[in-house]
A and B are shown apart, each in its own frame.
Chain A
Amino acid sequence: MGRGNRANQERLEGRAPTRDKILLMSIYATIFEALQKDAIPFVVIGGHAVVLHGYQRNTFDLDLLVPEGSLPAAKSVLVQLGYTPYFESGAFLQLTPCTGLPPLDLMIVDEITFTRLSHFTEARVFDGWTIQIPDPKRLVAMKLHALKAVSRLNREKDWDDIAGVIRASNLDIEDREFKEIVQTYGSPGAVDEIKGRL
């Protein structure tokens, strides 16, 4: 049993990890290790991807993009880690953690979308683990998509994230592909909103 597994077992049993294990405990790596061990493909999205592109902001919960074909396996692995399904729709599976792990949201996409997005990812080291995040343009596309939902509450944070990623990545907003992304995924006023925030 590895270090992460030992610490996780102690969490599940409600025991406080001892000092040497606490210092070795990784929060997010436990999840990455479990998914990669079962060959479940995923891409880190959301706030952590924003931070990993260089825009520093507070974030805690973890958002992962998974292809729908891998959802049952991912769900099984995460339940074994102590997660409990909290809300599920055709687009999301939200999970509540046991003690010591972050709230986790799985964004579900079809296989074609996952494969296409996989061609536009970048590797980062996160919590000591090498993971993939969307490139800046695709991350902006996801944020614009989220902003289209009328029920979205964190609009200001989404716009801050978009502007932050553009600045941190030195994206050219006059670039043809970027313009197409904004037109495809953004609402009619998205271009002006972005320009106003840069």
Chain B
Amino acid sequence: MRSKADCSRSFRLPVPPQPLKEHRQLPVETIVLQMEALLAAAQLGPEFELTRLTSKNRERFRM
């Protein structure tokens, strides 16, 4: 089953990966769209929802 991070990665817009030093050269609108897509992907998909729920279904941590 895919992890949350996998879900996010698979939902990226079709923009080729950019080296970090060139990232600032991307149009601001593209960067925003990428962020929006990642955020949307993080919330969508039954696998993500299942992972998110079951991973938190446990007792309190105590020290």
Contact = CB atoms under 8 A, between A and B. Distances in A.
A binds B: yes
Interface of A: 16-17, 19, 22-23, 27, 58-61, 65, 86-87, 89-92, 94, 96-97, 99-103, 105, 107-110, 112-113, 116-117, 138, 141-142, 145-146, 148-149, 151-154, 157
Contact of A60 (B36, B42, B50, B57): B42
B13 to A, nearest CB: 15
B35 A113 contact: no
Contact of B56 (A59, A89, A116): A89
Contacts of A141: 61, 63
A152 B53 contact: no
A108 to B, nearest CB: 7
- Majority SS of interface residues in chain B? helix
A17 B33 CA distance: 12
Given A27-B35, A109-B60, 7 more contacts: A102-B39, A103-B42, A103-B43, A146-B58, A151-B57, A153-B51, A154-B3
Contact of A109 (B1, B3, B57, B61): B61
Interface of B: 1, 3-5, 8-9, 28, 31-32, 35-36, 38-39, 42-43, 50-63
Given A145-B61, A149-B58, A154-B55, A100 B5 contact: no
